[in-house]
């Protein structure tokens, strides 16, 4: 089965970037910003396959799922899916530069 059956790589990258920026995201944000429909599947894979500590909150009378990264995590230790590898590389560079400036 082809990976695009599950979710477009740009949607995965969008979700990773949004979560890393500290946002709480839901399906309506994904539809508007990433033109996607598979946020629950993306979050499931990030949590189960890549170990991301994503919290789920259900809001409103329709119990709409909203997702955010657990506060206080070490983002440098996150494992990234292939379509968001560039985000992981940029995060690693930023952490290295920050450590270099602290010495």
List C-alpha distances in Å: 58 to 4, 35, 97.
27, 22, 37
| Domain architecture of the chain: domains with CATH | 3-102 (1.10.10)
Q: Are 71 and 79 in contact (CB under 8 A)?
A: no
Question: CA–CA separation, 2 vs 29, rounded Å?
Answer: 25
pLDDT tens-digit map of 5-34 = 445 668 999 999 999 999 999 999 999 999
At 89 the pLDDT is: 78
At 5 the pLDDT is: 42
Nearest by Cα to 23 from 69, 84, 77, 64:
69
At 37 the pLDDT is: 87
Q: Are 69 and 20 in contact (CB under 8 A)?
A: yes
pLDDT tens-digit map of 52-95 = 999 999 999 999 999 999 999 998 899 999 988 888 777 777 76
Higher pLDDT, 101 or 66: 66
Q: Which pTM was predicted?
A: 0.80
Give the other-Cβ count within 10 Å of 36's Cβ: 20
């Amino acid at each position: 089965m082809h990976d695009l059956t599950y979710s477009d790589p740009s949607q995965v990258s969008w979700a990773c970037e949004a979560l890393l920026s500290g946002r709480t995201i839901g399906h309506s944000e994904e539809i508007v910003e990433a033109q996607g429909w598979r946020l629950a599947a993306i979050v499931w894979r990030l949590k189960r396959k890549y170990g991301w500590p994503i919290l789920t909150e259900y809001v409103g009378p329709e119990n709409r799922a909203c997702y955010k990264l657990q506060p206080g995590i070490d983002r440098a230790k996150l494992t990234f899916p292939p379509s968001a590898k560039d985000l992981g590389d940029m995060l690693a560079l930023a952490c290295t530069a920050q450590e270099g400036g602290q010495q």
